[in-house]
Structure 1
Amino acid sequence: MTVLNVRDFGAVGDGSTDDTAAIQDALDAAGDGDEVYVPATEDAYLVTGSAAIVSVGPSMDNVRLYGDGEGSRIKYGGGNGGRNVFLVSVDPRGDGLDGFVMEHLTLDGGREHVEGDPNVAAAVQVRSPDAEAEGAVDISIRNVRGTNCYGNGIDVRSAGTTVTDCTADDNRQHGFGMHTAGDPFQDPPVRFERCLAYGNGFGGGYYGIDLSAGKAVAEDCVIRDNEGAGATKCSDGAERIVYRRCRLENNAGLSFQNTSGRDATVVFDRIVAAGNGGCMRLTENGVYRIPADSELVVADNGPDVRGGLFLTDESVLEAEDATLWVNGQTDGPGVRPSSDGPASRVGTYYHADNEDGALSSDRNISFGTVANDLKTDIDDVPTADQVGAWTDTETDTSDGDETTDDGADDSPFEAWTPRWDADADDWGVVAGDEYEGGHALRYDHDGTDAARRAISWDAVGTPSDVEVVDKVRVPSFETDGDLGYHARVHLRSSSDGGEERGYWIELEDAEDAFRLAKYSADGMATLARFGSPAEDTFFYRRFRAEGERLRVKAWEATEPEPDAWDVDLTDSDHADGWVGLGSFDPGAFQTDVLGVATGGETVRLETEDSSDDETTTTTDPEVVSLEAREVTPDAATLAGDLRDLGGADEVRVRFELRAAGAAAWTTVGGEALTSPAEFTHTASGLDAETAYEFRALADGPDASVTGEPVSFATLAEPVENGGPAVDRFDVTDSSGRKWTRFDVDWAVTDADGDLDAVVSTLERNGRTVAAESTAVSGDAASYTHVLRVRGAVDAVRLCVNDTSNATATREHEV
């Protein structure tokens, strides 16, 4: 596997240089199993031309095109001359396209640069296949944002394509589009999983997600705040369309409709349709199913005289073992059955607060139970913050009309879960006299590919302040190519939209060192290197995270634990997460001991007790200086650890403290301990911004023993918080006939670097009628909020606050 960086092919990413040829050259150079990397940039990789701007063809089997997430932006810069624009064209024609993956990219359609009125202008289009490609199409699009397109965000025209954790927003036509009718094959159906479509369709009769024709599944998707004709639809050529755990919310136009799709089967499995401009319109001779034990919730839609659920033409609703809820319908009844088709049946129908009652008639429809009751949501249907690009949300995939088995097992063995690229087969148990207790956990990946593999120890949870001690051995170091990165122990680890996050230490032969590193939104970074690991040798590693402080030490298992830490630094990227083991190298390592302590506690290593039945040996106690905690400008809490009483029944412990460089120590604190334990003392009256050192002491029978000195520095006196400022507040009135809409383009700063949140609101008579918020951090942030509401507003307000809750506010009168 080779990683081909587009920058090595000449791409610049400055928003003005034409990077089209460089990106295409990198893709053309990729062979089976290679990866094409688009690094994050401050601006964008500009591409130009018409038709297939960046082209992925059938020769790119098992190629991965990927970036770093939102910052890896490819943007269209013009030059189409009125012709179609496919920012990225994925073409399975010919022999098919098997194993192609595109992920962690922002694709900006640059609609402001599109010339004329092209029929198709999408961020991504997966082209229609040829007949000989059947069975050889496996295309995955993951964590991709398609935005600002003259046409669709992501447009799919080939079965065998799966779109997962993607966002389509601010596109003139559909957010997501699908059309496979007329193709030589339809299976496996196109899948949209955990996708978010919002702010699309403002060019006319378009939808958030358009599952036009063929076979498709939309699962765990949210379709909200789209303009145009409605939330979603199917149309002529639709064969089987499945919506499962989807939320259709606050869209202009209809919640759903079938536009001329004869003989279609449409499944609604746990769907919430709320706050939309119109009904769910079931048309033609389609069969519309709510599976057994499932439910459909239709709430607060309209105004629409057709009601919440409208059956017309020859449509049939099959829901005899399901539950239908319709409430809050404006200008119409809950259900309007006007179909001339075979009789529809609903098991249970609940209704409430529908302006024209529960039912306009009982034409060709029957109910098992009809009752007055109210429901507006379903628990396992995701919300907008749980889906789309760069989110990390798991949803319930049980029950329903169809099931999906992706081969993953959330609990392959008790109390442990594979993470990232790992599976349960990567770990096993080995026996041997050299292991404490006779057994050890062994990692050994069956293959040669290096990857980020890990398992979490679920019994520990996702702690913040945590310490891990492990005893580990790498039987043989690998040093070829990208190998040589072994035996990781992880703290505060997680995933964010498919991206790995967290801190870890490893044995790294390539640099003859232990390494402390992290995965963050900015990629992988080395924080420190230390020590000299060796192959086929057991080492202990103590790894501690407390607040923003990280400390690590490593020592050969045959030697006593050193008092001093090898690494002591601060980093604020990760606050909490799972604890576990992992590796980048596929080669073996063995974990003989793994201990975890949380909440500031320390992992204690068991030592052998050499005593006989008649003699008790008294030795000196063992004491270790730990750290200074809760440091302020004038105080600090000193900490020590009495690890062994040396055979005594009671040991007195205390601390000695001095300013750095001073000749004499001052004794502070003191208490008697009857068992090994940590002990502390808060020293007050210290000088601000001053270096100190302290050591822990324990009184033995013959002499006092001391731990190694530990240094710390008091903090500076706090300065007054400067508060945030609003640097840009541009309000654009984009209101239409049905909606009042304002686009709020803002930029904020804070000299103290502690921004917290920005909230935009629409106000009417002093009351907030719509709001949008964004969490921010650091010293500067900018974004655009899109706010919509039905009815007039008299003001648009923006408020920013910092972590000290200082605020700045701007207001625009309408």
Structure 2
Amino acid sequence: MTVLNVRDFGAVGDGSTDDTAAIQDALDAANNGDEVYVPATGSSYLVTGHNAVVDVNPSHDGVRLYGDGEGSRIEYGGGNGGRNVFMVSVDPGDDGIDGFVLENLTLDGGLGSVEGDPNVAAGIQVRSPHAGDEGSVDISIRDVRATNCYGNGIDVRSAGTTVTNCTADNNRQHGFGMHTSGDPFQDPPVRFERCLAHGNGFGGGYYGMDLSAGKGVAEDCVLHDNEGAGATKCSDGADRMVYRRCRLANNEGVSFQNTSGQGATVVFDQIVAEGNAYTMRLTEDGTYRVPAGSELVFADNGPDVRGALYLTDDSVLEAGDATLWISGQTGGAGLRASSDGAGSRVGTYYHANNEDGAISNDQNISFGTIASDLKTDLDGVPTADQVGAWSDAEIDTGSDDGSTGEGTTDDSPFDAWTPRWDASASDWGVVAGDEYEGGHALRYDHDGTDAARRAISWDAAGTPSDVEVLDRVRVPSFETDGDRGYHARVHLRSSYAGGEETGYWIELEDAEDAFRLAKYSVDGMETLARFGAPAEGVFFYRRFRAEGERLRVKVWKATESEPDTWDADVTDADHENGWVGLGSFDPGAFQTDVLGVATDGGTVQLEADDESGTDEPAPDEPEPVADLEVVSLEARNLTADAATLAGDLRDLGGADEVRVRFELRTAATDAWTAVGGETLGSPSEFTHIVSGLDAAAAYEFRAVADGTDATVAGEIVSFATLDDADENAAPTIEQFEVTDRSTNKWNRFDVNWKVADGDGDLDAVVSTLERNGRTVAADSTTVSGDGASYTHLLRVRGKVDTVRLCVNDTSNATATREYEI
């Protein structure tokens, strides 16, 4: 990795020197993994021109363009001659952009320097990809302030873009804009996370955030004091937009509206709309969903005769398991339903102090409960000081609901849980009993007969990558009729993407080898491993760990001690992160009374009781996943007096370099002898040949990594040297042919192989795809005798730099060939 300082390429940063060429030259000199640094200045780096002023393109895979924060200011100085201005243009083109990062910068759009009335004059525009791109986009924009732009502050037109902790303020058009409906792909959707928009839209009919068309998510965002048309909207071409934990406050126009977006689905999950001039307007034939257990709060909006929430055209509001709070509406009633679309429903509607009462029209809408009560805010929905560029305030997700009066008691266990997929909050409840740890358990029991993918996420665990779960679970009775009987799932790295459920899970059923490790992906469901013998009415502990691309599971009866070995140990690279939770495919009951989760070196823990928690620790609480990680591999190339020890450094724990070595001892002895040693700057395998060993003797070794603050060791591995009279010959690889059938979407390789062994004790052949020394896909075949041949078919979505073939015999003598891509 090389840091390229724009000043070394001639940038001055005095606010008057044209630094366009210097910044571009620094970018063009960067290779994958390099960083382009824009140091803070007392003035600004002036850029001029039109269209792609600072051009980021497919050649900038893995490049980071960054500064020191607010003081690293790039300012537009004119020269467009009435033409469009993309101050920073990020263009995926036909090849896509993978891993580009833009962060810690201020972009001043130079509103007064823009000539004419260009259609587009954005601080940042992520351009639409070409048809050949096929989804190869991974762009991150973080801690950036986009201000004083003639057009939009940050404008995104490509799926695969994430905008996090950014501020868009005082821009003439939208603060944040998004439009991907014309693109060749829509997933993963554009995401705006912890973003702040204020003072935007003063040029006319513009918004703080415009999720115009395609698929988008706004999560933990605050849109306040925007002028023009209001807080946010979607429009023609909108497919699915999600607003989650967002605050829409004191905007001049509407809280939200859909302008001609027919067929759109819009999700509102934990929203506060307060002090806005006009209504939240649900229009067209859109479907507007409020998830089960969620709440919407409208407070002190208006004056608007249409009310705080207005259904019109053919819209449908699906909030049958949710709660609406509307209070302080001026100029109208709290809610007005004038839609011709049938089937709108609200589970609970609380109202207070609305000028024209609770409801001015109830056309095609029904309610579960209507009552008078007041709530003006929601915990967990951030305020302006908690989001935006360089914000570091924690968002309070406490359970105090801030309500007053009657009708506000919530004794469900879902303050920290979110129903996922086909689930609803009614599928879960808390049950009591002496057989449960702590006296209570969380019980799943769907009220129906249809099998479906139902789950809940435990939000306290977040969406981790490396994570371990320990739970204690029981299925009272198995159901085996038809396509049923798949009970009691615990989920890791789960999500919902592209219309498909994704993630890893383990479950149990009444069958042989019926603990199952499996995954959902865009290609469907796949079983990764089966093991063990579950039994109905019996509590089991399950430890489920995901580290990098490695998944491990062990299960044991709660009355027995935890085993030392894992029941399943597999590699899979489909899912990198996601929520942790519980679920089931079968509608039958299961009970979980202990759930412990370790993420990023810390632990959170649930024991169900009638108030959703207890302070008592769970038995055998999972160890946090270590940052520094090393694994001992099997010994190789065994002879009568020598062996090759092997280890794998999986994680450097944040260090630039780590010293690795081995410790060796004769079996059944206590003292270790240090052997070998080297320094590694990235995760990779390492080996050391030890000689002078005794023939036909038993030894043990372990791999060791010495970090900055700690030393960690892998598991102890045993091996035995050969007898002098029985020297083992290593296998040979007689054929190794790799056929590359990759596409823009998948890297695919056919590995044709033929192996032989003079001793006639072949054991296994493994083909792997690797990236930077890490395995990203693998296939293996068990072999025997003195020869074998086959073809392994490997594929992976990510990049690959090496195809490797390895064969071993029953004495673990090996041969390896590799093909560099």
Output the TM-score relative to the length of structure 2.
0.53
Which residue of 1 is the match for residue 248 of structure 2? 248
Distance (whole Å) between structure 1 residues aligned to residue 2 and residue 629 of structure 2: 30
Question: How do residues 488-567 of structure 1 correspond to structure 2 at under 5 angstroms?
Answer: none
How far 1:257 sits from its partner (Å)? 0.3
- Which residue among 421, 427, 443 is the counterpart of 2:628? 427
Deviation at 1:6, TM superposition (A): 0.6
Which whole-Å CA distance do the structure 1 matches of 2:156 and 2:47 have between them?
Answer: 21
Alpha-carbon spacing, 1:312–1:342, altered in 2? closer, same or farther (3 Å) = same
Does the aligned pair in 1 maintain the 2:601–2:625 contact within 8 Å?
no
Aligned counterpart, 1:222: 222
1:588 corresponds, among 707, 727, 749, to: 707
Residue aligned with 1:361, SS? strand
C-alpha displacement of 1:417: 4.4
Question: Which residue of 405, 409, 414 corresponds with 2:463?
Answer: 405
2:374 paired with 1:374? yes
Distance 1:453 1:215 in 2: 41
Distance 1:50 1:429, change over 3 A: closer
Residues 185-223 of structure 1: CA deviation (Å, up to 9, x unaligned):
111100000000001001100000000000000000000
Q: Where do residues 758-773 of structure 1 align in structure 2 (5 Å cutoff)?
A: none
Give CA deviations for 1:709-747 in whole Å, capped at 9, x if unaligned: xxxxxxxxxxxxxxxxxxxxxxxxxxxxxxxxxxxxxxx
Tell me the distance in 2 between the aligned counterparts of 1:23 and 1:379.
Answer: 43
8 Å contact kept, 1:235–1:259: yes
**Using the alignment, how far apart are the partners of 1:335 and 1:270 within structure 2?**
18
In structure 1, distance between residues paired with 2:324 and 2:106:
39
Find the counterpart in structure 1 of residue 272 from structure 2: 272
Post-superposition offset of 1:589: 3.9
Cα distance in 2 for residues equivalent to 1:35 and 1:96: 19
Residues 478, 587 of structure 1: 8 Å contact kept: no
Cα drift, residue 362 of structure 1: 1.9
Q: How many residues align?
A: 456
* Matching residue of 1:33: 33
Q: Distance in 1 between matches of 2:251 and 2:111?
A: 22
Query: Is contact 1:426-1:445 (8 Å) kept?
Result: no
Structure 1 residue runs without a partner (length 5+): 432-443, 455-472, 483-585, 594-814
Task: Name the counterpart of 2:167.
Answer: 167
* Residues 122 and 151, structure 2, Cα contact 8 Å, conserved in 1: yes
In the other structure, the counterpart of 2:342 is 342
Question: Which whole-Å CA distance do the structure 2 matches of 1:77 and 1:449 have between them?
Answer: 44
Q: CA deviation at 1:394?
A: 4.7
State the Cα distance separating 1:391 from its structure 2 match.
Answer: 1.2
Which residue matches 2:190? 190
- 1:22-171 residue pairs with structure 2 within 5 A? 22-171=22-171
Identity in percent: 71
Query: Alpha carbons of 1:354 and 1:590: their partners in 2 closer, same or farther (altered >3 Å)?
Result: closer
Distance in 2 between the 1:225 and 1:203 partners? 14
Give the match for residue 359 of structure 1: 359
Residues 181/232 of structure 1: CA separation in 2 closer, same or farther (3 Å cut): same
| Closer/same/farther in 2, CA of residues 448 and 399 from structure 1, 3 Å limit | closer
User: SS in structure 1 opposite 2:78?
Assistant: coil
Deviation at 1:93, TM superposition (A): 1.1
Q: Deviations over 1:648-695 (max 9, x none)?
A: xxxxxxxxxxxxxxxxxxxxxxxxxxxxxxxxxxxxxxxxxxxxxxxx
Q: Distance in 2 between matches of 1:344 and 1:310?
A: 12
Q: Structure 2 vs 1, CA of residues 115 and 430 (structure 1 numbering), >3 Å: closer, same or farther?
A: closer
Kept in 2, the 8 Å contact 1:95–1:133? The answer is yes
- Per-residue CA deviations over 1:354-381 (Å, capped at 9, x if unaligned) read 0000001221111000000011100010
**Contact 1:65 1:102 survives alignment (8 Å):** yes
Shift of 1:405: 3.4
CA contact (8 A) 1:412 1:424 kept: no
| SS of equivalent residue, structure 1 residue 59 | helix
Asked whether the equivalents of residues 445 and 587 of structure 1 are also in contact (C-alpha less than 8 Å), the reply is no
Which amino acid is 1:334 matched to? G
> Closer, same or farther in 2 for the Cα pair 1:96/1:380, shift >3 Å?
same
Measure the CA separation in 2 of the matches of 1:452 and 1:170. Answer: 41
Distance in 2 between the 1:476 and 1:229 partners?
65
CA distance in 2, matches of 1:99, 1:268: 30
Find the aligned partners of 2:464 and 2:210 in 1 and give their Cα distance.
25
| CA 38–301 in structure 1, closer or farther in 2 if over 3 Å, else same | same
Counterparts of 1:479 and 1:137, CA distance in 2: 30
CA distance in 1, matches of 2:246, 2:263: 23
Partner of 1:258: 258
Residue-by-residue CA offset, 1:150-188 (whole Å, 9 max, x unaligned):
000000000000000100001000000000011111111
* Deviations, residues 728-777 of structure 1 (Å, cap 9, x unaligned): xxxxxxxxxxxxxxxxxxxxxxxxxxxxxxxxxxxxxxxxxxxxxxxxxx
Closer, same or farther in 2 for the Cα pair 1:406/1:85, shift >3 Å?
farther
Q: Which residue of 2 aligns with 1:290?
A: 290
Letter in 2 for 1:205: G
Secondary structure (helix, strand or coil) at the match of 1:399 reads: strand
- Map of 2:231 onto structure 1: 231
Call closer, same or farther: CA 1:191–1:453 in 2, change over 3 Å: farther
Q: In structure 2, how many angstroms separate the alpha carbons of the residues matched to 1:201 and 1:348? A: 35
Relative to structure 1, is the Cα distance of residues 430 and 29 closer, same or farther in structure 2, using a 3 angstrom cutoff? closer
Inter-partner Cα distance in structure 2 for 1:451 and 1:77: 42
Contact 1:293 1:322 in 2 (8 A): yes
Alignment partners' CA distance in 1, 2:335 and 2:268:
16
Letter matched to residue 399 of structure 1:
T
Structure 2, unaligned runs of 5 or more: 398-415, 422-456, 469-595, 604-623, 633-647, 659-673, 683-704, 713-821
Distance 1:408 1:223, change over 3 A: farther
Structure possessing the higher radius of gyration over alpha carbons: 1
Return the letter of the residue paired with 2:418: D
In 2, Cα distance between equivalents of 1:293 and 1:201: 34
Q: 3-state SS of the aligned residue for 1:385?
A: helix
> What is the CA–CA distance in structure 1 between the aligned matches of 2:291 and 2:349, rounded to whole Å?
14
Give, in angstroms, the shift of residue 416 of structure 1: 4.5
Q: SS of the residue aligned with 1:8?
A: helix
Given that residues 291 and 401 in structure 1 are in contact (C-alpha distance below 8 angstroms), is that contact kept between their aligned partners in structure 2? no
C-alpha contact (below 8 Å) 1:292/1:401 kept by paired residues: no
Taking the aligned partners of 1:109 and 1:200, their CA distance within structure 2 comes to: 13
Task: Give the SS at the match of 2:95.
Answer: coil
Contact 2:92–2:127 under 8 Å retained in 1: yes
Shift of 1:136: 1.0
User: d(CA) in 1 for partners of 2:317 and 2:32?
Assistant: 48
Is the Cα–Cα contact under 8 Å of residues 249 and 275 in structure 2 kept in the other structure? yes
For residues 447 and 430 of structure 1, the distance between their equivalents in structure 2, rounded to whole angstroms, comes to 10
Matched residue SS, 1:239: strand
Q: State the AA in 2 paired with 1:139.
A: I
- Deviation per CA, 1:536-555: give whole Å up to 9, x if none: xxxxxxxxxxxxxxxxxxxx
Counting only pairs closer than 5 Å after superposition, residues 659-674 of structure 1 correspond to structure 2 as none
Q: Which letter does structure 1 place at the counterpart of 2:249?
A: E
| Inter-partner Cα distance in structure 1 for 2:217 and 2:162 | 9
Residues 624-635 of structure 1: matches in 2 within 5 Å?
none
Change (3 A) 1:8 1:40: same
Give the C-alpha shift of residue 446 in structure 1: 3.8
